[in-house]
Structure 1
Amino acid sequence: MKHPFAIVALLALAGLAAVSQLYLPLPLLPLIGRQFGLEPAAASAALGAFSLAYAAGFLLFGPLSDRLGRKPVMVGGLLALGIVTLLLSQAATPSQLIAGRALQGLATAAFPPAALAYLAESMPARLRLWALAWLSTAFLLAGLVGQIYGGMAGQALGLAWAIALPCPIYLGAAWLLARLPREQRAASASLGAHYAGLFSVLRKPELRGVYAPALLLVLCFMAFYLGLDRYQGSALRAAGLSPLATRAVAVPGFLMPLAVAVLLPRFGAQRMVSAGLATAAAGLLLASCADGLGLLLLSSVLFVAGVGIGVPSLIARTSALADASWRGQAVSLYTFLMFSGASLGPVLAQAMNGLRASTYFAALAMLMGGALLFSLPRSQSQAAAVKTH
């Protein structure tokens, strides 16, 4: 592959800009409510429309990329995202807004599974982990960058411009990716066989040990920050920390995928997954017993560091355990479950609304501990297989 570093930079930038659309409306919900005459709960439906379509889209586009190739799916998805986003910026009614957000989520879903599989297949072996780490970092940072950009651009320029401004990135990235040589792909089964293969992927026990932790990891990530805002929001604001500043404190944790690229070849995927989940559980446990803002912010850094270690390590296990002929399916199921967790996180947070703060974060710590136990190999043979990756 020529210019691998430029290709990784291009995919990371495109991934950051695309996935940021999931989080962009969070600081703009009051503005959306005023502009469209919606109550806060109804305004948040725009966010849910994106995340549900986004998660479901992974099941569509992963097998499609196995059949058609990674590059055509990435290029088509970015082109569709650019067009849909431009149309969404002109939405004039609540129904147009929610429908546009759903289409936007579906278009965005074409990029992550195809990009992850593309790097796993196309990068030289010595750069593969670094490439996956940078792309994982971009996806994680999107949760922070999307909210910061949305808040700043929405207040300065208005909702329409905040939505539309990233479009040149999508269209420009699609144009640059289209100029790359198409990857060499062997003849594969029919598209129907690829979709049917999703069920056979679920029957692989080693991948089940990846999927359940991925769902719980991102579910707890969403629920953690919702709980932080609910229980400590007023205290943090009194200390001069806005919700966005509170999230920015955890930036070092978002950069942990880059450390994973160094540590994973030495310690193996299983140990790195265990380290990530254990670190996340420790952060949640610290949050449950924190008696001051200092410890609480430290717990957020520790928890996000665990997420930053866990996400790329789980992706590396998925890519390594999956054969090239069904890697897109395996990555699709992984990303589907991961972002299903993002959709279920607010539901869980609402269901635990009546709990005390300490009990709330302790419950999340127990879920994370369960994810750690579920990720452990079930047999010596499986452990040996995982250790090689």
Structure 2
Amino acid sequence: MNKNNITLYTPTIGLRLLLILCALAVVSQLYLPLPILPQLAHDLRVAPGVAAGVVSAFGLAYAAGFMVFGPLSDRLGRRRVMVWGLAALALVSGTIAWTDSAPMLIAGRALQGFIAAAFPPVVIAYLAERGTTRQRTWSVAWISTAFLSAGLLGQIYGGTVAGRWGLGVAMLPFALVYACTALALSMTPADTRQASGPSSWLAGYRPLGRLLADARLRRVYGPAVLLLMCFVTFYLALDIHAGAALHAEGITSLTARAVALPAFLAPLAVAVVMSRVGAQRMVMVGLCTATAGLALCAWAGTDHLHGLLGASVLFVAGVGISVPSFIARVAGLADAPARGLAVALYTFVLFVGASLGPLLGQITAQWPLPYTLSLLAALLGMGALYVFTGRNAAVSAMNPA
């Protein structure tokens, strides 16, 4: 039951597995073209910078869409937004699969990114409020694992499938997953929420000021911006400063990323202990683990490549622990009527941070690798301190002298 004592449909195991697969397929769309940008530029007969617009157009529209579909799901219901969003995403993905014009492809990718945003924040809220505490925790953990691993698996899939048969062919299996998920969701009981008019939909944004004014939520959103920013910058710095040294050791940039793949399973460990230690403590564990991993990476530098890669696993594990812990924290703090908006805002700031990662990577491109990694460790360390001081303030308020 939710906070309003309304009994909600509990998804079956099969539907939960399909939602997790769909989460992987949706977020992988962002990373899918990255390995084949030079090939895409050649096929479309455009400059590499124009081909990169296939990625940036999706990403910018994707982030903007979070702030639309989260509040919309609060008004119209989670299921309805996901069904129509995934059906539209399947149609758009299947259509642009046959596009061979750069302007049309970029425009199609922007539309695809905006529609794709109807799924991630909504499915998180959907699963976070259905079933037992154990079911909710595990569902969010698996969804978080899918979101995180898409950054690597999406590139591997893009390099192998899109690299061989083209971007359009690679999108078709994803379109099938979207269509199947939409169909499966449409066969579940409708949400209890009733459709609202445009004025009520706009009223869904009214809690935004209250969410931002909540000091507890600010201590989620603030560090969340830093999380993916440091994640993206780390791997850009690794390519720039350690790429040649790694290749000399027979380690490709993709292999360097694959080393950390087991760390993407960290959200599952969170599910085991979350109910016992609480989301707030897990946030601290995640941020401190990521900070320690970055600090060890800075110490290893290019002089100890195997130590650098080993420490990267610790860093990625910290990110993997933090993401679902932040989600659980937001879901626990936000009231049910504003939960979709609160989760959407969290997802939005995550991808704002990710978009700042390349900029920070360029700013620090001329720095020695240990300096860059030390900066990232300091930023995450400050995020952890920000969370910790908030916890101490809350404890002090509960136990006045």
Scaled by the length of structure 2, the TM-score of the pair is 0.92
Q: How many aligned positions are there?
A: 386
Q: Partner residue of 1:110?
A: 118
User: For 1:97-136, what aligned pairs fall within 5 Å after superposition?
Assistant: 97-136=105-144
C-alpha change, 1:338 and 1:383, in structure 2 (3 Å) is farther
Q: Partner residue of 2:327?
A: 315
- Check conservation: 1:209, 1:377, Cα contact below 8 A: no
Q: Partner residue of 1:93?
A: 101
Q: Partner residue of 1:173?
A: 181
Q: Partner residue of 2:290?
A: 280
Deviation at 1:364, TM superposition (A): 0.9
C-alpha change, 1:117 and 1:383, in structure 2 (3 Å) is farther
Q: Partner residue of 1:266?
A: 276
Q: Partner residue of 2:218?
A: 208
**Counterpart of 2:206 in 1: which secondary structure?**
helix
C-alpha change, 1:270 and 1:177, in structure 2 (3 Å) is same
Which runs of structure 1 show a deviation greater than 4 angstroms over 4 or more consecutive aligned residues?
A: 186-189, 383-386
Q: Partner residue of 1:248?
A: 258
Match for 1:292 among 280, 304, 316? 304
Deviation at 1:40, TM superposition (A): 2.7
Deviation at 1:5, TM superposition (A): 1.9
In 1, the alpha carbon distance for the partners of 2:216 and 2:10 equals 34
**Counterpart of 1:255 in 2: which secondary structure?**
helix
Whether 2:158 is the aligned partner of 1:150: answer yes
Moved more, 44-53 or 296-305: 44-53
AA matched with 1:268: G
In 2, the alpha carbon distance for the partners of 1:380 and 1:282 equals 22
Match for 2:13 among 2, 5, 16? 5
Moved more, 377-386 or 134-143: 377-386
- Check conservation: 1:54, 1:105, Cα contact below 8 A: yes
In 2, the alpha carbon distance for the partners of 1:78 and 1:377 equals 41
- Check conservation: 1:377, 1:383, Cα contact below 8 A: no
**Counterpart of 2:46 in 1: which secondary structure?**
coil
C-alpha change, 1:385 and 1:70, in structure 2 (3 Å) is farther
Q: Partner residue of 1:70?
A: 78
Q: Partner residue of 2:3?
A: none
Whether 2:390 is the aligned partner of 1:382: answer no
Deviation at 1:380, TM superposition (A): 5.1
In 1, the alpha carbon distance for the partners of 2:396 and 2:26 equals 37
Deviation at 1:92, TM superposition (A): 2.2
Unmatched runs of 5 consecutive residues or more in structure 2: 1-8
Deviation at 1:191, TM superposition (A): 1.0
* Aligned-residue CA RMSD (Å): 1.9
Q: Partner residue of 2:369?
A: 357
Whether 2:334 is the aligned partner of 1:330: answer no
Match for 1:32 among 36, 40, 44? 40
In 2, the alpha carbon distance for the partners of 1:187 and 1:36 equals 43
Whether 2:380 is the aligned partner of 1:372: answer no
In 1, the alpha carbon distance for the partners of 2:369 and 2:339 equals 41
Unmatched runs of 5 consecutive residues or more in structure 1: none
- Check conservation: 2:10, 2:131, Cα contact below 8 A: no
Deviation at 1:379, TM superposition (A): 6.0
Match for 2:249 among 232, 235, 239? 239
Deviation at 1:2, TM superposition (A): 5.2
In 2, the alpha carbon distance for the partners of 1:239 and 1:269 equals 41
In 1, the alpha carbon distance for the partners of 2:143 and 2:16 equals 7
Identical counterparts, % of pairs = 51
Q: Partner residue of 1:229?
A: 239
In 1, the alpha carbon distance for the partners of 2:320 and 2:387 equals 16
- Check conservation: 2:10, 2:130, Cα contact below 8 A: no
Moved more, 31-40 or 67-76: 31-40
- Check conservation: 1:48, 1:343, Cα contact below 8 A: no
AA matched with 1:185: R
In 1, the alpha carbon distance for the partners of 2:351 and 2:223 equals 12
- Check conservation: 1:219, 1:341, Cα contact below 8 A: yes
Deviation at 1:384, TM superposition (A): 8.8
C-alpha change, 1:379 and 1:223, in structure 2 (3 Å) is closer
Match for 2:191 among 160, 183, 192? 183
Match for 2:66 among 58, 62, 65? 58
